C-alpha cells in the first residue's frame, strides 16, 4: 500500500510541491492562459515569453494540490528553452504518459524528470490534476483566449 502512495507522491513531486519553481507573475508575458479544474477548484495561470519560435520564459501562479503544483513547477522547467514545436510535442507525450496511452513517447526522446508522474495513471481521479498546467501552457502557446477547463 505505502508503495502505491510513494509511486504517486515521489520525492521529486513532494519537493516541487514544497518549493515550486517559477511560481511568479510575469508582467510582460507575451502570452498568458488560465486553467481551471471545476471539479476541485484548482486554478492556474501560465505566463509565457517567446523569442522567435523559442520559449524563453515560463512561469505560473495559482493554487492546487501537490500533484497539480508539482506538475506546473516541473512543466515550467521542461518547457523553458524549447521551441514552440518541441514544447507542444512534449505536452502530447506527457499527456500520453499520464493517461496511460504512452505510445507516442516511445518514438520521441524520453521525458526525463517528467517520468516521476508515471504513477498518476493508476489514480484516474488525479489525472486532471497532473495535466491542468500542461493544458494551460498549451493554450498559451496556441494563443487561445478562452480559459482552459479540464472537462
Measuring CA to CA, how many Å separate 93 from each of 30, 103, 118, 124? 25, 8, 12, 18
Residue found by looking up cell 484516474 in the block: 124
CB closer to another protein, 28 vs 151: 151
State the minimum distance, in angstroms, from the CB of residue 63 to another protein: 6
Q: Which of 33, 50, 55, 67 binds another protein (CB under 8 A)?
A: 67
Residues 120-149 that bind another protein (CB under 8 A): 123, 125-126, 129
Judge contact between 58 and 42, C-beta under 8 A.
Answer: no
Answer yes or no whether residue 9 interacts with another protein by CB under 8 A: yes
Answer yes or no whether residue 65 interacts with another protein by CB under 8 A: yes
Task: For residue 80, give the C-alpha cell.
Answer: 523553458
Q: Which of 12, 66, 84, 102 binds another protein (CB under 8 A)?
A: 66
Judge contact between 53 and 88, C-beta under 8 A.
Answer: no
CB closer to another protein, 5 vs 27: 5
Q: Kind of pairing, strands 31-37 and 54-63? A: unpaired
Please count the residues of this chain forming the interface with another protein, following the rule CB under 8 A. 22
State the minimum distance, in angstroms, from the CB of residue 1 to another protein: 6
In angstroms, the CA 109 to CA 31 distance is 27
Helix axes 11-18, 66-79, angle to 10 degrees: 90
Interface positions with another protein (CB under 8 A): 1-2, 4-5, 8-9, 14, 17, 39-42, 63-67, 69, 123, 125-126, 129
Amino acid at each position: 500500500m505505502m508503495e502505491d502512495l510513494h509511486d504517486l507522491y515521489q520525492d521529486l513531486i513532494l519537493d516541487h510541491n514544497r518549493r515550486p519553481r517559477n511560481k511568479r507573475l510575469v508582467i510582460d508575458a507575451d502570452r498568458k492562459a488560465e486553467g481551471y479544474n471545476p471539479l476541485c477548484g484548482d486554478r492556474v495561470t501560465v505566463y509565457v515569453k517567446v523569442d522567435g519560435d523559442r520559449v524563453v520564459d515560463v512561469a505560473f501562479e495559482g493554487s492546487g494540490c501537490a500533484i497539480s503544483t508539482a506538475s506546473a513547477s516541473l512543466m515550467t522547467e521542461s518547457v523553458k528553452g524549447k521551441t514552440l514545436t518541441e514544447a507542444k510535442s512534449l505536452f502530447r507525450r506527457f499527456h500520453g504518459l499520464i493517461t496511460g496511452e504512452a505510445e507516442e513517447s516511445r518514438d520521441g526522446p524520453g521525458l526525463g524528470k517528467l517520468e516521476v508522474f508515471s504513477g498518476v495513471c493508476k489514480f484516474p481521479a488525479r489525472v486532471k490534476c497532473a495535466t491542468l498546467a500542461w493544458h494551460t501552457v498549451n493554450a498559451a502557446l496556441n494563443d487561445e483566449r478562452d480559459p482552459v477547463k479540464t472537462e
